[in-house]
């Protein structure tokens, strides 16, 4: 039985053992500090045999969840204009959502930080140059395979730790069509090993990257949780924090957490770091209201929970009259960021306009993806089939091999009406109000989704595909990138944390999460989360 009783007063207590919390814990434990990490979910057995069993469960016809999400523990509400399917793609456990993420790790562009994009988004209170060395450290920590060939990427100081994955066969088809349209394609940085790295093997091509990587080639944050433990940190699983208690001087004194046996404990510490994601962090702050903090902890601005942002998916696909080798690669190897800083630019072929330039209304950045997993996989077709033998083989030959598709991400602007609040009418397994997601899209997102679809259908048309479906602008869904609910800023009346990620209101409370993002951009956020976490750890080291 694991010992879940509290340790003596620690230097640092971290809430959450996902990528941010695990990186903070490892860095501070390596510096000699006493660190305890409290994680709401369990430890998952990470050996090869267990991962293979998990993969097998994931591809069976019933496709039950393999990471234990759901039920009273994970209850939530979604009262906004759009239903937000919170539990569809999050994981509570040591490693967090990196246990089943896709593994794409891009740096935000300089324009994201500077507010120089052609839209209404504000600037960040720190620059790309401030975060640039931490981006490099994050790439080394996670193990990133990438290339410097992307002409739209921000400047970097050194190559990626590993070479990029080779473009897939379908990438080569897209590349020729894009070249004729004047659209540049380039490699995607992936937090998965293209060669052996950090004691983990190279990718062996299982193709089930979501929801599980059986080989361990894709990075997951339990790696750094274990490294933190090797340096002396204590990681306590199945210990959901119920509230943070403050002393009479406004500092956090202890994290109160529950254990599976029904007991509650208080973990005291000098400093506290919240790293539980963009939904659970504001929820915990709101649950920690007291007579000294009647609106919730660190919430004098009223911004806790507000400015919830997401990335929306734009896509289009269909079939070709030739082989595409669909689903031979389970992750993306090529993209185009050409429409990121300038999403409204025209697309031309031989001097003829294929997609006219957009109007003057602001658009979000667009990140275009070339999907290597278009259409059903042969395994998916086989396990879902009713036939066997020659009949099944004939059906597989008819249904597999000619699908092709593009995807993309479009970021939401920060809108105060998009927020996380508490639903007092619905409680979790400890009797606490569950998070309520109030989510809407707004006109800019819809315009940008439509713009992305125009470019995607133009590329597919140039490829000669029969376009059979599009996703966007009216019916689409989130990428499950929770951002913005404890935003960073210099004005305590408008933001929750300062540029060092310490809360304005509480001197010993820090936030390491995408929840501090002032804007969403349209890049996958995990590398920026990791870079901010490493920077936060350095600021804490200075303070301690």
* DSSP string over 24-58: HHHHHHHTT--EEEE-SS-----SHHHHHHHHHHH
Query: Rounded to whole angstroms, how far apart are CA atoms 156 and 133?
Result: 9
Query: Rounded to whole angstroms, how far apart are CA atoms 127 and 540?
Result: 20
Q: Angle at the Cα of 201 (from 199 to 206), degrees rounded to 5? A: 150
Domain residue limits at 478: 10-543
pTM to 2 decimals?
Answer: 0.96
Overall residue count recorded for the chain in this entry: 544
Residue 19: which of 194, 224, 216, 172 has the closest Cα? 224
The per-residue pLDDT for 49 is 81
Note the pLDDT tens digit of each residue in 2-31. Answer: 899 999 999 999 999 999 999 999 999 999
Residue 28: which of 510, 532, 544 has the closest Cα? 544
Residue 3 lies in a domain: no
Residue 2 lies in a domain: no
Note the pLDDT tens digit of each residue in 84-108. Answer: 999 988 999 999 999 999 999 999 9
> Residues 221, 96: contact at Cβ < 8 Å?
yes
DSSP character at residue 292: S
Residue 351 lies in a domain: yes
The per-residue pLDDT for 334 is 98
How many domains are contained in the chain?
Answer: 1
Residues 6+ apart with CB under 8 A from 360: none
Query: Rounded to whole angstroms, how far apart are CA atoms 279 and 289?
Result: 17
Give the bridge partners for 10, in sequence order.
Answer: 269
Query: Rounded to whole angstroms, how far apart are CA atoms 205 and 387?
Result: 27
Query: Rounded to whole angstroms, how far apart are CA atoms 115 and 516?
Result: 16
Query: Rounded to whole angstroms, how far apart are CA atoms 362 and 365?
Result: 10
The per-residue pLDDT for 274 is 98
Q: Divide the 544 residues of the chain into consecutive groups of 10 and give the mean pLDDT of each group.
A: 92 98 98 98 83 82 77 96 93 95 96 90 96 98 96 95 97 97 98 96 89 92 97 98 93 97 96 98 97 94 98 97 89 97 96 95 97 86 86 87 96 97 97 98 96 98 96 95 98 98 98 98 98 98 95
Residues 6+ apart with CB under 8 A from 78: 84, 85, 86, 436, 437, 438, 439
Residue 338 lies in a domain: yes
Residues 6+ apart with CB under 8 A from 370: 170, 171, 174, 185, 332, 333, 334, 335, 336, 406, 407
Residue 510 lies in a domain: yes
Residue 188: which of 215, 173, 213, 168 has the closest Cα? 168
Residue 452 lies in a domain: yes
Residue 1 lies in a domain: no
- CATH number of the domain to which 43 belongs: 3.50.50.60
CA dihedral (408, 409, 410, 412) in degrees, to 10, reads 160
**Three-state DSSP state, 229:** helix
Residue 5 lies in a domain: no
Label residue 538 exposed, middle or buried (CB < 10 Å: 0-12, 13-18, 19+). middle
């Amino acid at each position: 039985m694991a010992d879940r009783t509290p340790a003596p007063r620690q230097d640092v207590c971290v809430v959450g053992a996902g990528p941010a919390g695990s990186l903070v814990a490892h860095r501070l434990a390596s510096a000699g500090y006493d660190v305890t990490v409290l994680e709401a979910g369990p430890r998952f057995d990470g050996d090869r045999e267990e991962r293979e069993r998990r993969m097998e469960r994931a591809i069976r016809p019933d496709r039950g969840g393999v990471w234990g999400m759901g039920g009273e523990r994970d209850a939530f509400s979604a009262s906004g204009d759009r239903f937000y399917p919170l539990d569809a793609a999050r994981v509570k456990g040591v490693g967090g959502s990196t246990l089943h993420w896709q593994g794409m790790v891009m740096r935000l562009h300089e324009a994201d930080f500077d507010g120089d994009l052609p839209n209404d988004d504000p600037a960040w209170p720190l620059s790309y140059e401030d975060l640039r060395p931490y981006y490099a450290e994050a790439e080394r920590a996670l193990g990133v395979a990438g290339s410097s060939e992307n002409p739209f990427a921000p400047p970097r100081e050194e190559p990626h730790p590993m070479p990029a994955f080779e473009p897939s066969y379908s990438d080569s088809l897209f590349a020729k069509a894009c070249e004729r349209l004047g659209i540049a394609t380039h490699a995607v940085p992936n937090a998965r090993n293209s060669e052996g790295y950090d004691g983990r093997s190279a990718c062996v091509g299982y193709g089930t990257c979501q929801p599980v990587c059986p080989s361990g080639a894709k990075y997951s944050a339990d790696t750094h949780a274990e490294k933190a433990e090797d340096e002396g940190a204590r990681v306590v699983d199945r210990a959901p924090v119920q509230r943070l208690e403050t002393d009479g001087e406004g500092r956090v004194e202890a994290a109160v957490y529950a254990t599976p046996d029904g007991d509650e404990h208080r973990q005291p510490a000098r400093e506290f770091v919240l790293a539980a994601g963009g939904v659970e962090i504001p929820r915990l702050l709101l649950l920690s209201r007291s007579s000294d903090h009647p609106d919730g902890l660190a919430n004098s601005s009223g911004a806790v929970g507000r400015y919830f942002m997401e990335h929306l998916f734009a896509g289009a696909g269909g079939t070709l009259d030739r082989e595409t080798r669909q689903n031979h690669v389970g992750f993306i190897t090529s993209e185009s960021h050409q429409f990121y800083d300038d999403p409204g630019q025209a697309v031309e072929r031989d001097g003829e306009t294929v997609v006219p330039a957009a109007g003057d209304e602001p658009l979000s950045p667009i990140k275009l993806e070339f999907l290597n997993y278009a259409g059903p996989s042969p395994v998916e077709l086989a396990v879902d089939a009713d036939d066997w033998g020659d009949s099944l083989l004939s059906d597989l030959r008819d249904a597999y091999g000619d699908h092709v598709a593009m995807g993309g991400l479009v970021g939401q602007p920060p809108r105060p009406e998009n927020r996380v609040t508490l639903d007092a009418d619905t409680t979790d397994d400890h009797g606490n109000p569950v998070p309520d997601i109030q989510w809407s899209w707004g006109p800019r997102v819809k315009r940008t989704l439509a713009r992305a679809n125009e470019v995607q259908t133009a590329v597919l048309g140039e490829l000669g595909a029969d376009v059979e479906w599009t996703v966007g602008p009216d019916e689409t869904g989130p990428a499950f990138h929770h951002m913005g609910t404890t935003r960073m800023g210099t004005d305590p009346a408008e933001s929750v944390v300062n540029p060092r990620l310490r809360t304005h209101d509480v001197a010993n409370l820090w936030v390491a999460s995408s929840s501090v993002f002032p804007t969403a951009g349209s890049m996958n956020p995990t590398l920026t989360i990791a870079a901010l976490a490493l920077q936060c750890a350095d600021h804490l080291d200075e303070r301690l």
